[in-house]
Amino acid sequence: MSAFDAIRQGTDLQAYARALTRTHDAVLCGAQPRLRPRVLVERSWRRVLALGLDPHGRTVRTPLHWGDVERLRQDSPLGSVIDEIKAVITTVADASQFLLVVTNGDGVVLWREGAAGTRIRADRLGFVEGAVWTEPAVGTNAIGTAIAEAAPVQLFSAEHFEQPQHPWYCTAAPIHDPRTGDLLGIVDVSGPALTLHPTIGALIEAAVRLAELRLWRLHQHELDLLRTAAAPWLAAANGPLLLVDEHGCVAHSAGIATRERIARPRGDRAITIPGLGLCLPEAVAGGWLVRPRGTDTAVRLLLDLSGPPLVEVSGSATPWRSALTVRHTEILLLLHLAGPAGLSAAMLSEALYGDVDHVVTARAEVSRLRRLLGTVVATRPYRMADGVDLRLELGGAERLRDCPFVRNTAAPGLRRRTARAGAGS
């Protein structure tokens, strides 16, 4: 079964719903169920139980005011593609008693459309515009669990944590910003559990692909406009340079080969680009002109593990330091240990999480790290870019595996690799 599939072809939906109800009741009572929940569902239930949510659905729902919903709609990039999403799904939804729901990246319902009877039943659940539909708010559900897992999710009947949601199925998939990889929101189709059809997952996948393609085309048009607006600066410039938009996406390059994106520029801080060294962005025409500050194109990183993780970046200008998250520190260490061969997304997922089910999450973490440090992390496979010299400060430890950060890491692949590494590696 795919990530979408909660049922197999030919499943007796009524019998399966009853079996899942027995499983749900047994787990909540602390008993061993005859039918174990799916791994995805089991992970979500553990998270929700740890939060102390009420399985009877008595948690108060307080949706945002309509004005706040309108503001979030206007701020959301999904507003430019909502019509495409509706075009794929709602004609079927009207005929099949579905409900189409689109949220922002925080799980706030921004758009809802579908059959009138299904909307009324959703109203009783508080499944309305402005409601927050995350795991901490309403328990295990396709929208909130898709956010938590960074992956498509389909739930059937009593796989939902809250009992009032048991008469439902829900199928959800994340939609990402093609420029940055950031989560923009969730596309969800929900309906009466016993009407679940095997094609629902494919329908949502098609809607998400179409929306992301449309967002990419809009992005390319914005880069065309930036190139046109910045033409006078480009014509007058000498030497290697990059023209990038506010997200660091490359609109034009001269004298330097780089991928499609660098770190998000800031006017108050130099950024690192292999081949250019430290560069100071200059704001031009709604974007940024990025040029080297000196002749030294080497990029040197010092990863300081003597306390809370820090990274110091230096080259031809004054070094700058930045705090790192635990996950980003683990990624840098894994890429350092992997050497030039690097790691695929699947290998990185296994090293960070112990399985290959978190590939999307691993990619998103690398994307966020590249926004901080720039293209010092290369892709396909993930590795330290050519010309980047990464050194470690272990705070007195002779070997990396003896460093407190590594001793406390939850990343299984990092523990294995450091156990094999030599002194100072």
Is 330's pLDDT higher than 50?
yes
Cα–Cα distance, 299 to 274 (Å, whole number): 6
Average pLDDT over every residue of 1-6: 65
Is 2's pLDDT higher than 70?
no
Question: Considering the domain boundaries, does residue 7 fall inside one?
Answer: no
Cα–Cα distance, 65 to 129 (Å, whole number): 9
Residue of 111, 112, 190, 95 whose CA lies nearest to 146: 190
The token pair at 173 is 């998939």
Q: How many domains does one find in the chain?
A: 3
Cα–Cα distance, 413 to 334 (Å, whole number): 8
Question: Considering the domain boundaries, does residue 84 fall inside one?
Answer: yes
The token pair at 217 is 């085309």
Write down the pLDDT at residue 158.
96
Contact (CB, 8 A) for 128 and 63: yes
Range(s) of the domain holding residue 119: 13-219
Is 313's pLDDT higher than 70?
yes
- For residue 290, count CB atoms less than 10 angstroms from its CB and return exposed for 0-12, middle for 13-18, buried for 19 or more: buried
Are residues 132 and 273 both part of a single domain?
A: no
Q: How far is CA 188 from CA 55, 77, 204, 381, in A?
A: 22, 17, 7, 32
Are residues 120 and 167 both part of a single domain?
A: yes
Write down the pLDDT at residue 98.
87
Are residues 377 and 271 both part of a single domain?
A: no
Question: Considering the domain boundaries, does residue 115 fall inside one?
Answer: yes
Give the residue from 292, 312, 332 where a domain finishes. Answer: 292
Give the residue from 219, 249, 280 where a domain finishes. Answer: 219
Does the global pTM surpass 0.75?
Answer: no
Are residues 32 and 113 both part of a single domain?
A: yes
Average pLDDT over every residue of 267-293: 79
Question: Considering the domain boundaries, does residue 5 fall inside one?
Answer: no
Asked whether the CA dihedral 223, 227, 230, 233 is positive or negative, the reply is: positive
Are residues 250 and 345 both part of a single domain?
A: no
Question: Considering the domain boundaries, does residue 1 fall inside one?
Answer: no
**Pairing between β-strand 388-393 and β-strand 299-304 as defined by DSSP bridges:** parallel
- pLDDT level of residue 423 (50, 70, 90 thresholds): very low
Task: Please give the mean pLDDT across all residues of the chain.
Answer: 87
Is 39's pLDDT higher than 50?
yes
- The predicted-structure confidence for 123-156, as pLDDT tens digits, reads as follows 999 999 999 999 999 999 999 999 998 899 999 9
Write down the pLDDT at residue 319.
62
Question: Which has the higher per-residue pLDDT, 293 or 34?
Answer: 34
Are residues 86 and 48 both part of a single domain?
A: yes
